[in-house]
Amino acid sequence: MSPLITPEELAALGDVTILDVRWRLGGPPGIESYREAHIPGAVFCDLAADLAAEPGPEGRHPLPAPGDFQAAMRRLGVSAGRPVVVYDDADSTAAARAWWTLRYYGHPGVRVLDGGLRAWTQAGMPVTKETPPAAPGDFTAVAGGMPVLDAGRAAEIASGGVLLDARAAERYRGEVEPIDPVAGHIPGAVSAPTGQNVEPGGRFHKREFLRERFNTLGVVEGVPVGAYCGSGVTAAHEVLALEVAGLPAALYVGSWSNWVADPSRPVATG
């Protein structure tokens, strides 16, 4: 089953949990957009509060503890036996973080609305301001459903496999760094901005296009692959695009914000 779902496919589903994961680094809060209009039946999922722990040495968006994530998902109505569809209003970057975290903690049936809310409304589907009551879910969080990297393993893959840097190319090169205290990239990493995963309008490119793109970057069968970004959000989008292409990859959740927390780790530029 594809990790993506179309507006028409979502509209045809019966019993489904829909999570609105609109979020932008620096704001405004996604809940404001949710209150203005959202897909009927959707509940708001806060990326910073529900899909990440507090910032620290592990990164700006470290993994939430299993108990915290389980409690958040149950509050939002997530159950293991009910499919989950996640969406945002841009290119599925925030939605991908929800997809990946739910998969990591063991949910068997989570998909991303391809093109997000924009695709939904362009398809003529309705929106609402009504906030539905979320019946408590029974989801149990069990870690390990998706492969992860720490800093040491990320360095190994950068040396002996393919480590994809999902940030914009100018951040990879170290020309600018608007967020983290050090500019540059992990030595050996390959620049692979996530903006190239999607078409204008925010839908993912077709499987064949993505597979060719990643093949060109060195991602082929049998080669260990990892992805990182600034804080593990955009890189989840890279992992999602790789899965669409049929190419499994591990996520360095702490990403650059964790890498540069240790000044002894090397930094490359250019």
Of 52, 84, 96, 229, the catalytic one is 229
DSSP symbols for the chain: --SEE-HHHHHH-SS-EEEE----TT---HHHHHHH-B-TT-EE--HHHHS----BTTBSSPPPPHHHHHHHHHHTT--TTS-EEEE-SSSSHHHHHHHHHHHHTT-S-EEEETTHHHHHHHTT---B--------------S-SS-EE-HHHHHHHHHHSEEEE-S-HHHHHTS--SSSSS-SB-TT-EE--GGGGB-TTSPBPPHHHHHHHHHHTT--TTS-EEEE-SSSSHHHHHHHHHHHTT---EEESSHHHHHTTSTTS--B--
229 in active site: yes
| Catalytic center residues | 229
